[in-house]
Structure 1
């Protein structure tokens, strides 16, 4: 059958081979070789036909006919401009494989025609109605394809202005890539043109078009990106932005999450937040910028890997010369006899730190040269009930998210690093702000405090590592700058060594006192996100975006082991005080517990819904705390893997947790810009 192109004809189908419509006499084949078959769409501007090109072996094509059903000279002129504009844009964009190719544009019988490539597929609104809402994986795949198309479109200085599910086709072919087609450039605009429309004229679709486009006709690449965000929201939730716009205007974008019936990862949620900003200046400014955040593993952060800082070992005091020889033969406790290590008492003024295991607590015994043994009181009571942690204080001085925390060995001072480029020191007891350090030019990703409490080291996205005098708040030194971001810094328990790592895949070992670079460790093939040092100062563990954990000899720099088991970026690592257990947290939503000496995987904890960004082990080695992008902190029995309790109080992603040396205070930092202090309740 051949379809008549006369919009007023009441009997359009005609038999094959007919040259003129039997009902109205209008020619049925246009330009002598385009033969319309059937109507596949209609609207206020005219109709769209499926057609054959008889000169190309009846190859299918699409004919758009301009026959507007509107009144008024101004409206008709605008409609004509838009129709002609689509042809110009298609010609300008050339033969992009994901944009229909313009085949012809002409006038016949006082009507305008546009002929373009036929795409065998269906639009995404139809797909949504037939198959239901898209899951996150489908949304990500869609974003990758559309953003690549928009990169080309915007490079040609063209703004589409009408991105919505109806204008996105999916080919019926089985190809996994390149099957998304962006259509309908009728509303598109040349970026260099005047962007103001006539008063009362609106270009775009309500609910999908951003405020600047609907309010006064201004458009930018960011305008298309808003429409892309609204499209993803519609496909993800099944809720039409038009319906929300009718009821709430643009206020709906601030609460879009409440309409989602499925879990959305914080990464995708953050991208949609930025795409849907009402103010175009606060959105992504280019399709390339969105692509970078999808593809760049460091966007999974915009925050650092969390560093678990080992509990420092105190330097024992010298004994007075008058101390008498009182060598101990044994120590009796709880009916157990533990023999001391034999030492040379002939060497005066030498101290030996001897670990004693008493009822699960690690004691450090200092043996003086005069033969006197000193028993130090355990720093933590192993009976602490961590399931009784409760929120005690919330610190709100930071203006951006809090990335990193460190607590001084004496438990008096808390230091926080933030995306607001500052480092703040606080009185941990009462939450009072003591000092703000602000010489970094970008996000502060990591902070560490020396065991003596006199030095703070900070690592930043700006590539700098800075050393500060903590009591005075003055800058002591800046180490040679790296071209890549610094993700993690950690200080050895003896206070002599600083270790840093970052986006260059390298680990650097420095002399903390002189600032001299001692070693550079190579082994990871992607960004190093996390570092931790064992309490004896011998072992360094590093977690990376390459999904591996590497175990190093800190003194020699030799690689001892590589732990493989996580499926995604590793954000956090921590070593237990006895050096036998390593805990790691990953973007794969799991916490893994490893036997550190053997590298054997002992347990996998899976209660977090989103990425695990931070892990910390209590000083008694019995309890693990984890922070997650699901806004919670979970407390676990490290030995059994059982969940003790979940702390809820942050309103956004938890990026970092730290535990005080007495084990009775936990501190957390979040994307909600707060530092929260949790304490054991009696």
Structure 2
């Protein structure tokens, strides 16, 4: 039998049961937590907050149990206080609600060795996401839940949700991962158990959270939770509807949210693989109403719409018995004789309305931009317009959106290839934002230290994070699931670059080394150790054959990736190199130059000969961030002088100076087409700029 090290920072906590000290971190091994619980393996990692373990309860004949550990490694008194408050509230909810067999019981709650622990009943079974994934390899008609299964799902889950709401609690995070189907004991087999009350909240006449403290899983939670931080029983019912949709279609509402915001709910039926009865369609449609006033207000209302006399009785506490009438599969098709034609017609009409709406919106937006020119942040042209050019023909430039961050600033960001989402680093982990809805979508927090740098795969399916905890993690962008952890660096990671074909990852940081990784296998291919100080930036050339690295030792080095050797060291600068990358003309297959920023200057060199091409200077204080758009032949530079400058890469001409931030510009990124620039600064704002064609 194995036993776990309880050091929250331990990267490999599994040890032999006879060990007295952890073989990985050296911490003392505790045989029994609180002289009762034997911790045997990690179930999940909660980022900078702790871990969840599987354990055995020695007071109950080694019955399995689940232990959640709170050991927050986050900065700021507010964030720490909030984490402890939510953890304690979860324990209170379980103690209050655990009398219901479909909610885990609280076994213990205590503090030990500067950590908080919550021990709860272990539920033997699979969550519904695992159950859905297990079915995916079968026939298309069996991959997703059919109508009968969805009805049974609702009639099993809604009574326990009614119980929760009757006790004055809103769950706030209902999704397939938080619903487990029991395997044991036999008399309860098949029942659904609602877990994870860490986001739950007391139901008050007006449940009002601080702005910016919305809790829940995006795509599954209602707009009032995301936009206003408000939660009601109707909010949980929206999540039930989104869960039904996921089970019926196999499509993640999270993914649809990132692409369409809340508009996907208006035409959710088009994603179905099979027709459903008008009755069930009405129920799901009402559950998914964006406007809470049009949504069901209670679980009882939903059950009433689902059930006709008299088949499967469901008894709610304090309510009369109601019963279910299931529609046989053969009748589903006859009831929906014209469903497919109706859906095709409605889908076509929706598309036409959407196109018309988009056209109207952007024409209105264009007019608004023209009318609001005088209210935009200061934009200073670097050169005079040509004589005779009218003011109305001047290039349009607009600040599209400002994201106001409450707690921390952003020092690394990346834009997805479809320009619909942006990733930002944070002391809390990594945040995903929607550029469509202009809302925070999700937070990924599985590192044990601050995330320093983020990068997105060229195809937009995955992303990579580098942290102070010396690890690199690879994530699925659509599902938010962690795929792999890379652990070979000995200090914090500050630079990442992904090759254009998405096969190689370059990483560097405080250990002065550059490592190349195979992204498909996670294998370390080579380590370059020629720099003397921190690796601050990395960039692949257009073909993925060369890698440029910049360092705080003032040097820029060019590496042959295939031959795994150093090609050239460019003439040393007398200050730290903050940024380096290859640039090329749009449409060209060859690299024109390598570019780097240092102090208040930007230099461009021939990567083969080492000859310096030009120097760009125009900032009055050190340059702190840079981004290149080969499509637009543009360079953007941000500085401690709070400005952003746009440069022509071919001529070195300064095109425009953007003034909108009130703090040091820490990160910049162009989208793939180069018509959007995103900037982040120490003033705790992220700004999205629309770039004209120069």
TM-score bracket for the superposition, by shorter chain length: 0.3 to 0.5
The structure whose residues are more often helix, as a share, is: 2
With the length of structure 1 as denominator, give the TM-score of the two structures. Answer: 0.42
Q: TM-score, normalised by structure 2?
A: 0.41
